[in-house]
Amino acid sequence: MADPPAEFPPTRWSLVLDVRGDPARSREALETLLRLYWPPLYAFLLADGQSPEDARDLLQGFLARLLEREDLARVEPGRGRFRSYLLAGLRNHLVSEVRRESAAKRGAGAVFSLETEEAAASLAERPAPGVSPETAFDRQWARLVLQRALERLKREQDAQGKLTQYATLAPALGGDATASHEVLAQQLGMSPGAVAVALHRLRRRLRELVRHEVIQTVGSAADLDEEMRHLLAVWSD
């Protein structure tokens, strides 16, 4: 007899959706998600033809609007994906928001600072010429999810005293390494078989961490599976 499906765990996005439970915690969770996932919105705006300055103003205006309005109260709990919610909301914002109103959000009125070193890297990125705003958004979202999973994997390996091994094997995690297992084995003083096992374990753990990252932005197991399929399609594009 098959085991019953496990209950979908509480996540940042499901906490946001449950606005009736604890509005303060819901807002805190939303702020956390926005801090982590604003770069795809910025990429969308640049690909839409906005200048970097206007894109930043529009972005801050949209983020402030999300936190000030009660739109979340109309989202059905347990359904929907944060990525889809953000993209639809930004489209609506561009239609309804007057440019001068967005500019008023600059400086002291900003939701959070984009002047940090961490933000600088995302602000410096530009979508490839001819890429649609939606594609730019999806690519940046997928890149961010993978980046966060890799950062966590690196921290885990460091905590286990395996940072040197990880740094050597990391380029091979995507399966496109230029160095063979024999070359990697020589660099690490391991056998080729041990290198193969280490890479298998790192790839398996990376998949787990990607899934953990994605699960924070969906409301159900079905949404999780669909979002994982979408990310795989974007990565293979």
| Tens-digit pLDDT profile for residues 160-206 | 999 999 999 999 987 655 678 899 999 999 999 999 999 999 999 99
Q: Is residue 48 part of a domain?
A: yes
Residue 90 lies in a domain: yes
Tell whether 3 is covered by a domain.
no
Q: Which domain holds residue 66?
A: 12-236
* pTM summary value: 0.82
Is the distance from CB of 199 to CB of 173 less than 8 angstroms? yes
Pull the structure tokens for residue 142. 């997928």
Q: Is residue 220 scored above 90 in pLDDT?
A: no
Cβ partners under 8 Å of residue 226, min gap 6:
81
* H or E, element range at 189: none
**Residue 1, in any domain of the structure:** no
pLDDT for the residue numbered 167: 95
Asked if residue 2 is part of any domain, the answer here is no
The answer to the question of residue 7 being in a domain is no
99 pLDDT above the threshold of 70: no
**Neighbouring C-alpha atoms within 13 Å toward the C-beta of 72:** 25
Domain count, the chain: 1
